[in-house]
Amino acid sequence: MDYQIMLTELLKGLLVSVEIFVLTLVFSLPLGLIIALGRMSGNCIIRNIFRVYISIMRGTPLMLQLLVCFFGPYYIFNVHLSSEYRFIAVILAFSLNYAAYFAEIYRGGIESIAVGQYEAARVLGYSQGQTFFKIIMPQVVKRIIPAITNEVITLVKDTSLAFSLSVLEMFTIAKQISSAHTTMIPFVVAGVFYYIFNFVVAFGMGRLEKRLNYYR
Amino acid sequence: MPEKVLTINKLSKSFGALPVLKEISLEVEKGEVVGIIGPSGSGKSTLLRCATMLETMDSGTLTYGDLTVCLEGCYADKPVLRAARNRFGLVFQNFNLFPHYSVLKNITDAPLCVQKRDRDEVMQLAHSLLAKMGLSGRENAYPCQLSGGQQQRVSIVRALMMKPEILFFDEPTSALDPELTGEILKVIRQLAEEDMTMVIVTHEINFAHDVADRIIFMADGLIVEEGLAHDLVNAPSNDRTRAFLSNIMK
């Protein structure tokens, strides 16, 4: 086995893993906020719709959700999609799934802010939007960073689930090389790469947490 | 005739089946300082919260000068409510400063972003008010770095920055050590000397006696007695007032 080629292939796979990781965060972080707001809506129908959504997303395996996102359009709607849809299905499933988890984290953060903050803002004439984005959210972000870090680290490892749709991310490639050459080494190397990836993520989140530590 | 800043007429409010305010009427004239005293649960805070629109009243009328916020239980349209919010300031018992904003941002953000006033004017006023409250040099501190007394002074400055016509205080010293209470009372006294119109809910009877022109004694959602500060404290005519005062003077 040529180690040079193996490393290059794994690094190419890592790039795809990073791509899944970044795109998932880009979509699921804002989506999670919308779901959290829906979950806290004063309207009981809207609130229950989002409650059920979160319940399903958290209560079923992500791998199953991946398969549903990929095969669903064909089996349910009889739509034929191009092979590029494979990657889109991965991002779709990951984003929908992680948004549910993020939504609950946001909700916990938002509900932990003292009612006095809303009242002070109201008396000072801030609009609802200003109150939420200027007064409440910055405090929420600081409080939820540790919980978000947990999810983000899980996401790094979960990208390997794209294997179930044969997307050529790092784990899929490691598995292919391993089978072809009957060796454990690609798995060990992939493991090291995942660890480094997470080390960097944890470091970055730690820095962010420190930066937000300018007040108690 | 002196100008009326605040008029409350027959305000009633219940929480569920529990009536907390029963047809309360109150007028505050420009430059007047009104103290509200009474036992816990008498409705003093709820009255203040209704007046500052943090709580909706069930019936009655609430007017700020020419702005009718609520006419016999019917609230006015949003622009009127917004305009009315500009007329008053509220100082909370727990300060409720924004912890992620520096002192300067806490006091200037609403004048700049809500009232959209001129930046230079706002900054100038901010620095002069901070200096007046003995907070010069703390502009860049965060609330968590300040003592309770300092935080409450910042929150008074924050309210004053909005240039309110009337300032409400909801037990402004209740969350403070006795040691720090004095500095807040001094500030409020200073404002009274400058003819700031104020309504103060307080447990500090001596202070109310000193600073208020008029004192209102509330119990069970009613104004039991109302009179000149000196008269009400020294010669209460109502038995409940007498009992309350003798209890806390002990």
Task: State whether B100 and A142 contact (CB < 8 Å).
Answer: yes
Q: What percent of chain B has pLDDT over 70?
A: 99
Task: State whether A119 and B92 contact (CB < 8 Å).
Answer: yes
Same domain, B159 and B83: no
Flag whether residue A216 sits within 8 Å of chain B, measured between CB atoms.
yes
In the listed set B163, B189, B212, which residue is the last one of a domain according to the structure? B163
> How many CA atoms lie within 13 Å of B228's alpha carbon, on the beta-carbon side?
4
Which residues on A lie below 8 Å from B69 (Cβ)?
none
Q: Which pLDDT belongs to residue A50?
A: 97
Flag whether residue A80 sits within 8 Å of chain B, measured between CB atoms.
no
Q: What pTM was estimated for this model as a whole? A: 0.89
Same domain, B38 and B119: no
How many domains does chain B divide into? 2
Same domain, B82 and B174: yes
Domain that holds residue A52: 3-212
Q: What percent of chain A has pLDDT over 70?
A: 100
Annotate B117-149 with three-state secondary structure. CCHHHHHHHHHHHHHHCCCCCCCCCCHHHCCHH
Mutation pick from B95, B98, B168, B169 vs chain A, by most beta carbons of A within 10 Å, is B98
Q: With a cut of 80, say whether residue B197 has pLDDT above it.
A: yes
DSSP type of residue A136: I
Mutation pick from A124, A136, A213, A216 vs chain B, by most beta carbons of B within 10 Å, is A124
In this complex, how many residue pairs, one in chain A and one in chain B, have their CB atoms less than 8 Å apart? 55
Same domain, B83 and B169: yes
Q: Could you read off the pLDDT of B22-54 as tens digits, one per residue?
A: 999 999 999 999 999 988 888 999 999 999 999
Q: Which pLDDT belongs to residue B246?
A: 81
Which residues on B lie below 8 Å from A116 (Cβ)?
92, 94, 96
Same domain, B148 and B243: no
Same domain, B77 and B171: yes
ipTM above 0.90, yes or no: yes
DSSP type of residue A134: I
Question: Is residue B51 a contact partner of residue B45, using CB atoms and an 8 Å limit?
Answer: no
Domain that holds residue B62: 1-87+165-250
Same domain, B123 and B53: no
Q: Work out the minimum CA distance from A207 to partner chain B, whole angstroms.
A: 18
Q: Work out the minimum CA distance from B149 to partner chain A, whole angstroms.
A: 18
As a whole number of angstroms, the distance between CA A77 and CA A6 comes to 40
